[in-house]
Amino acid sequence: MARELTPFDIGILRKLAPECEDLICGGARTEYRSILPPVANHYSRDEQDFAERISLLTDDELEYLIGLMEDESEGVGCLSPLFFSVFLDLVTTRLSKRVSQKVLSIYENSEGCG
């Protein structure tokens, strides 16, 4: 589900990817509609870099993103399984195994990019 990023969303995106300047996807030339896919697909060099970036999230921000995933506002279908695994590890470590199982189910049922 496409959405417009709120000022709070933009703050999180810029926290995770400070080099993000114009909020435009270079390939599609459209505005970003999610937070994690641009961080993973456009700014992170690899899984380790992605892990370092998302480790900056507070627990409240992490829970906020999960809430957006639950209502399908935060698209995670564009995350590669390797990057998603990094995110899932963070959720398990910082929140709980129960929450990570819920997030895994969301990912498995999400549609790909599109």
In a domain, residue 17? The reply is yes
**Prediction pTM value:** 0.89
Is the separation of the CB atoms in 13 and 20 below 8 Å? Answer: yes
- Counted domains in the chain: 1
In a domain, residue 1? The reply is no
Say whether 84 sits in a helix, a strand or coil: helix
Q: Which domain holds residue 18?
A: 7-109
In a domain, residue 2? The reply is no
Going residue by residue through the chain, which has 114 residues, state the pLDDT in tens, using 9 for 90 and above: 467 899 999 999 999 999 987 766 555 545 778 999 999 998 999 999 999 999 999 999 999 999 999 998 998 888 999 999 999 999 999 999 999 999 999 999 987 665
